[in-house]
């Protein structure tokens, strides 16, 4: 009888869970976004505002940019919100997205140990900093996970004239994980790492790390949002999804983004109306 | 409307029965008739096939050659026969629950079960032990409980495989008393034993087995007083049969 | 969730967000345990009590599947439930239901294999007596399951413990969505990767407390079983 009672108890507890309204009918959308955006805490700030206004619940699945776009390509999300312009434009060109809207930007910073083995702390030229790191074989952590940050990092190596896949050495470690994990590893091994400012500000496990290089225009990181194309995936909740996009680029949404601060610092700079963003 | 003849298992007739397992002959051309009446006692050295013969007569194993009929039919369900194994296994419940289980399996209506449990426990001298965990009873008590469980079926035939083998003299006596009482009520008892004294006390009919065969069948007085075969004479004299 | 509140404070204060995460973990793993029991107990009993060609191989495979890596199960279920997959029209990816499905698949072999062992051992003991009492197949199964109930309960608790402690399957099929599919284990993974170690440890304490409770219950079940069995 004990097992029977347990079964009934379990079924009662589970019933509300298992009989939730089928996802297609409830007022929600799935947004594929990136771990760095999620980790910055931005969503925790702006999504409740959106829900209060429209009643739509936004469910964010946070992955690396490459993974997020794959999820959107498969139709497992309604909206994609990432920061890799070239990949986003290809996403739309290939017919998976309807239209790309720029939303905001934040910047990357090069984080490094206080001991500064490459001697680059305080400089404002990211390209020479990277060249120096390679020349001195200073330890460097790469996310290596096809994320927007990873893509930006590779672009910067290219701008420095270094073809990193061929020219890396044991000083360059790819961990295949998100920003927080990369910062953890860098903190533990006193290495350099490229991070978005938002994740860095919220990161608590700093150890001996601090900002080494910042402010270079090449470190700016543009975010774009796209509705997954209902022509390719008919089940996409296009009305709710478009409502979210419309809100993000509206004056109200842009202000909500600007209002998000950690330790008094603004992390994201809304720029939906900036030409060429 | 035709009246269905009540199922009767007696007499149990084994006709040229043999049983071999993986080329080893355990029973060899056995012909035996177990008729209603006084108890039939199987005796013989270890490995003679007594246990197998009991299990076969009960219907737990089928012969590889020959036929078994019960009450003239070859395929009766075991409703009217019961067996107590040499090392009976108690269900992981109380003594009373074990008996209730057997009563339920025998089709006794729920309302009558409690009364029958008390009667059966009293019969085997375990009155008042109904709530005790069956597996925590002593060896002798478990043997008697197994006997009560077999009797729960109200059987026509009761097979007992060395029922007093692991019991002390006091417990042996009380079990033998129950067996005699049960036999006196008309139940056909078929049992095996190592104890020649017990065989004398209980039988009826003695069946001496040796290496899978029946050596001699006789009533107790004749067997012990004037055995016909040389093996029987040696066995009664206490010599080992090899 | 507030970021600068100490872990212990959060746990002790009964913070609603924390409670929601714990509740989701328990409900998902409990539902999976029930589902796995519904599948695994009859299957284990069937294999224990019947003879068929290839039975030994089935037993070996059942035991081997106990070690299914959670991430592999997660990946397989993800591919099935993705919109581009065969069951995409169900729209279950990134929902708690998907997590229940994945964990059910993960622990069903554990329950089936342990049930098979328990029932088979008891069957060896009971076989002669049940045959002598002419108990039919349905009665035999019911008797074995009832008499072995404490050991079977231990098997269920083992399944629950495995489900509650795993992160690989639920994070892949659930997506670790804040307030929707975030369980204790996925939250710990997230907070650790964000460097918020005190919070991760607070969640870890709750998870360990639950695991200890489950093991204590299993111990209690074994003791109760022993008291009745011997």
- pLDDT per residue as tens digits for the range B99-130: 999 999 999 999 999 999 999 999 888 999 99
pLDDT at residue C2, as a whole number:
47
Q: What is the pLDDT of residue A197?
A: 86
Residue B240's pLDDT band, with cuts at 50, 70 and 90, is: confident
CA distance C133 to chain B (A): 7
Residue A79, token pair as written in the block: 């909206």
Cα(B172)–Cα(B187) distance, integer angstroms: 20
Quick one: A65 and A126 in the same domain?
no
Q: Does some domain include residue C1? A: no
The pLDDT assigned to C200 comes to 86
**pLDDT for the residue B1:** 44
Token pair of B172 as six digits: 């042996």
**Separation in Å, CA of C136 to nearest CA in chain B:** 9
What is the structure's pLDDT at C3?
A: 44
Identify the band that residue B239 occupies on the pLDDT scale cut at 50, 70 and 90.
confident
A19 found inside a domain = no
pLDDT of the residue at A217: 84
B106 neighbourhood in chain C, CB within 8 Å: 133
What is the pLDDT, as a whole number, of residue B82?
Answer: 95
Tell whether A275 is covered by a domain. Answer: no
Taking only the tens place, the pLDDT of each residue in B42-59 is 999 988 999 999 999 999
Would residue A212 be called left, alpha or beta, if left means φ above 0 and alpha means ψ between -120 and 50 degrees?
alpha
Q: Establish if C51 belongs to a structural domain.
A: yes
Residue A276 lies in a domain: no
Report pLDDT digits (tens) over C47-67: 999 999 999 999 999 999 999
Nearest alpha-carbon partner for A269 in A106, A107, A108, A41: A106
The enclosing H or E element of B176 equals helix B169-184
Residues A60, A46 share a domain: yes
pLDDT exceeds 80 at position C94: yes
**What average pLDDT score do residues C86-99 get?**
94
**Is the domain of A83 the same as that of A173?**
no
Q: Which region holds residue B93: left if phi is over 0, alpha if psi is between -120 and 50, else beta?
A: beta
Residue contact C91–A41, C-beta within 8 A: no
Residue C198: CB partners within 8 Å, gap ≥ 6? C6, C7
Task: Look at residue C2 and tell me if it is in a domain.
Answer: no
pLDDT value for C53? 95
User: Looking at residue C19, what is its pLDDT?
Assistant: 85
Residues A119 and A214 in one domain: yes
Domain enclosing residue A99, as ranges: 28-106+222-270
* Alpha-carbon gap, residue A63 to A77, rounded angstroms: 12
Calpha distance B230→A167 (Å, rounded): 101
Pick the residue of B81, B84, B87, B91 with the most C CBs within 10 A to test the interface with C by mutation. B91
A near C: at least 3 beta-carbon pairs less than 8 Å apart:
yes
CA distance C150 to chain B (A): 11
Residue B66 backbone zone (phi > 0: left; psi -120 to 50: alpha; other: beta): left
CA distance C183 to chain B (A): 40
Q: How many domains does chain C have?
A: 1
Mean pLDDT of B203-210: 92
Query: Does residue A23 belong to the interface with chain C, where contact is any CB pair within 8 Å?
Result: yes
On whether residue A18 sits in a domain, the answer given is no
- The chains found to touch B (3+ Cβ pairs under 8 angstroms) are C
Backbone angles phi, psi at A196, to 5 degrees: -80, 150
Interface test with chain C among B92, B132, B153, B155, by most C beta carbons within 10 Å: B92
CA B136 – CA A22 distance, rounded (Å)? 55
CA distance A96 to chain C (A): 13
Query: Are the C-beta atoms of residues C152 and C41 closer than 8 Å to each other?
Result: yes
Interval C125-175: pLDDT, tens? 999 999 999 898 889 988 999 999 999 999 999 999 999 999 999 999 999
Q: What is the mean pLDDT of residues B22-27?
A: 91
Rounded to an integer, what distance in angstroms lies between the CA atom of residue C98 and that of residue C100?
A: 5
Question: Which of A183-187, C36-40, C69-73 has the weakest average pLDDT?
Answer: A183-187
Say if A24 is an interface residue toward chain C (CB within 8 Å): yes
| Number of residues written out for chain A | 277
CATH number of the CATH domain containing C141: 1.10.3720.10
Scored b (16 or more CB within 10 A) or e, A143-158 reads bbbbbbbbbbbbebbe
- pLDDT at B74 > cutoff 60: yes
Q: Which tokens hold the place of B34?
A: 């177990």
Q: Please give the pLDDT value at position B72.
A: 86
Touching chains, C (3+ CB pairs < 8 A):
A, B
pLDDT at position C59 is: 96
Give the C-alpha distances (Å, rounded to integers) separating A86 from A91, A151, A219, C118: 9, 10, 16, 59
C31 part of contact set with chain A, CB < 8 Å: yes
Determine how many CB atoms are found less than 10 A away from the CB of residue A71: 25
| Contact flag C196-A204 (C-beta cutoff 8 Å) | yes
Closest CA to B189 of B20, B42, B48, B78: B42
Do A138 and A164 reside in the same domain of the chain? yes
Say what the pLDDT of residue C229 is: 60
* pLDDT in the model for residue A201: 83
In a domain, C95, yes or no: yes
Tally of structural domains, chain A: 2
C178: containing domain: 7-229
Q: So what's the ipTM on this one?
A: 0.85
Inter-chain CB proximity C193 and A181 less than 8 Å:
yes
Picking from A127, A139, A150, the residue whose alpha carbon sits closest to that of residue A221 is A150
- Under an 8 A CB cutoff, do A10 and C30 touch? yes
- For residue A193, CA distances in Å to A105, A149, A187, B11, B145 come to 20, 11, 9, 94, 78
Same structural domain for residues A96 and A123? no
Chain C: give the shortest CA distance to residue B2, in Å. Answer: 28
Q: Is B125 left (phi over 0), alpha (psi -120 to 50) or beta?
A: left
- The closest of B21, B102, C178, C183 to A58, measured between CA atoms, is C178
Nearest to C195 among A18, A59, A205 (CB): A205
Read off the pLDDT of residues C175-200 as tens digits, 9 standing for 90 and up: 999 989 999 999 999 888 777 777 78
Cβ C83–A75 below 8 Å, yes or no? yes
Per-residue pLDDT of chain A (277 residues; tens, 9 = 90+): 455 555 555 555 555 555 444 444 589 999 999 988 888 889 999 999 999 999 999 999 999 888 999 999 999 999 999 988 999 999 999 999 999 999 999 889 999 999 999 999 989 899 999 999 999 999 999 998 887 788 889 999 999 999 988 888 899 999 988 888 899 999 998 999 999 887 888 787 888 999 999 988 889 889 999 999 999 999 999 999 999 999 999 999 999 999 999 888 888 999 999 888 8
Do A135 and A230 share a structural domain?
A: no
Can you give the pLDDT at residue A211? 93
The answer, yes or no, to whether residue B180 has pLDDT greater than 90, is: yes
Q: For residue C133, is it within any domain? A: yes
Consecutive H or E run containing A97: strand A97-113
B with C: 3 or more CB pairs under 8 Å? yes
Q: Say if A143 falls within a structural domain.
A: yes
Residue pairs between chains A and C whose CB atoms are closer than 8 Å: 104
Tell me the pLDDT band of B6, cut-offs 50, 70 and 90. low
Residues A226, A98 share a domain: yes
Q: Which domains does chain B have, with CATH numbers?
A: 12-89+155-236 (3.40.50.300)
CA distance B82 to B188: 11
In a domain, A235, yes or no: yes
Is pLDDT at C228 greater than 90 in this prediction?
no
Same domain, A209 and A227: no
CB within 8 A of A214, min separation 6: which ones? A107, A109, A110, A124, A197
Q: CB atoms < 10 A from the CB of A136, how many? A: 12
In a domain, A16, yes or no: no
User: Which residue in A59, A64, A193 has the most chain C C-beta atoms within 10 A of its own C-beta, making it the best mutation to test that interface?
Assistant: A59
User: For position A56, which CATH number holds?
Assistant: 3.40.190.10
Flag whether residue A93 sits within 8 Å of chain C, measured between CB atoms: no
In the predicted model, what is the mean pLDDT of chain C?
90
A21 touching C, CB under 8 A? no
In a domain, A57, yes or no: yes
| Band (C8; pLDDT cuts 50, 70, 90) | low
Last residue of a domain, one of A204, A219, A234: A219
């Amino acid at each position: 009888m004990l097992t029977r009672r347990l079964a009934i108890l379990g079924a009662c507890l589970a019933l509300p869970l298992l009989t939730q309204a089928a996802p297609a009918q409830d007022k929600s959308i799935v947004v594929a976004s990136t771990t760095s955006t999620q980790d910055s805490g931005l969503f925790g700030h702006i999504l409740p505002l959106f829900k209060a206004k429209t009643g739509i619940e936004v469910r964010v699945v946070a992955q690396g940019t490459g993974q997020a776009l794959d999820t959107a390509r498969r139709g497992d999300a309604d909206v994609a919100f990432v920061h890799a312009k070239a990949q986003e434009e290809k996403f739309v060109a290939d017919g998976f997205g309807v239209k790309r809207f720029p939303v905001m930007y934040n910047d990357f910073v090069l984080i490094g140990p206080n001991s500064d083995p490459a001697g680059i702390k305080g400089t404002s030229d990211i390209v020479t900093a990277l060249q120096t790191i390679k020349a001195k074989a200073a330890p460097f952590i790469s996310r290596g996970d096809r994320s927007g940050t990873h893509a930006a990092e590779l672009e910067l190596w290219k701008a420095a004239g270094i073809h990193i896949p061929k020219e890396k050495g044991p000083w360059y470690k790819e961990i295949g994980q998100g920003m927080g994990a990369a910062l953890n590893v860098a903190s533990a091994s006193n290495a350099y790492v490229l991070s978005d400012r938002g994740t860095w500000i919220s990161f608590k496990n700093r150890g001996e790390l601090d900002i080494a290089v910042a402010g270079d225009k090449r470190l700016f990181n543009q975010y774009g949002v796209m509705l997954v194309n209902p022509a390719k995936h008919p089940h996409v909740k296009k009305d709710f999804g478009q409502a979210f996009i419309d809100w993000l680029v509206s004056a109200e949404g842009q202000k909500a983004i600007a209002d998000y601060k950690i330790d008094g610092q603004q992390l994201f700079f809304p720029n939906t109306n900036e030409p060429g963003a | 409307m035709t009246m269905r003849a009540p199922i009767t298992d007696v007499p149990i007739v084994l006709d040229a029965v043999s049983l071999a397992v993986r080329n080893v002959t355990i029973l060899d051309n056995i012909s035996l008739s177990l008729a209603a009446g006084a108890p039939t006692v199987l005796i013989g050295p270890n490995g003679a096939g007594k246990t197998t013969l009991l299990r076969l007569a009960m219907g737990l194993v089928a012969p590889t050659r020959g036929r078994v009929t019960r009450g003239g039919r070859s395929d009766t369900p075991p409703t009217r026969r019961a067996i107590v194994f040499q090392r009976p296994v108690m269900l992981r419940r109380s003594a009373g629950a074990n008996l209730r289980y057997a009563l339920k399996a025998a089709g006794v209506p729920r309302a009558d079960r409690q009364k029958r449990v008390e009667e059966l426990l009293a019969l085997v001298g375990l009155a008042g032990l109904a709530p005790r965990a069956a597996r925590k009873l002593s060896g002798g008590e478990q043997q008697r409980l197994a006997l009560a469980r077999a009797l729960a079926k109200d059987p026509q035939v009761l097979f007992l495989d060395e029922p007093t083998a692991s019991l002390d003299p006091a417990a042996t006596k009380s079990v033998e008393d129950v067996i005699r009482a049960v036999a006196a009520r008309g139940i056909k008892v078929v049992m095996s034993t190592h104890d020649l004294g017990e065989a004398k006390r209980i039988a009826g009919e003695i069946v001496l087995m040796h290496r899978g065969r029946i050596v001699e069948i006789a009533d107790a007085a004749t067997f012990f007083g004037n055995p016909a075969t040389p093996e029987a004479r040696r066995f009664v004299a206490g010599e080992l049969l090899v | 969730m507030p970021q600068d509140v100490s872990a212990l404070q959060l746990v002790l204060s009964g913070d609603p967000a924390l409670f929601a995460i714990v509740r989701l973990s328990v409900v998902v793993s409990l539902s999976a345990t029930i589902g796995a029991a519904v599948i695994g107990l009859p299957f284990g009993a069937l294999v224990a009590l019947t003879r068929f060609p290839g039975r030994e191989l089935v037993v070996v495979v059942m035991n081997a599947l106990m070690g299914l890596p959670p991430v592999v199960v997660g990946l397989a279920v993800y591919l099935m439930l993705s919109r581009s997959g065969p069951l995409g029209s169900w729209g279950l990816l990134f929902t708690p239901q998907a997590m229940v499905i994945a964990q059910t698949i993960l622990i069903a072999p554990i329950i089936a294999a342990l049930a098979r062992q328990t029932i088979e051992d008891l069957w060896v003991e009971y076989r002669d007596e049940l045959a002598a009492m002419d108990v039919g197949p349905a009665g035999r199964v019911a008797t074995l399951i009832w008499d072995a109930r404490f050991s079977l309960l231990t098997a269920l608790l083992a399944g629950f413990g495995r489900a509650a402690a795993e992160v690989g399957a639920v994070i892949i099929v659930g997506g670790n969505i804040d307030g929707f599919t975030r369980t204790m284990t996925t939250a710990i993974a997230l907070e650790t990767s964000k460097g918020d170690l005190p919070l991760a440890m607070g969640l870890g304490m709750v998870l360990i407390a639950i695991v200890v409770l489950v093991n204590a219950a299993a111990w209690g079940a074994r003791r109760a079983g022993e008291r009745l069995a011997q």
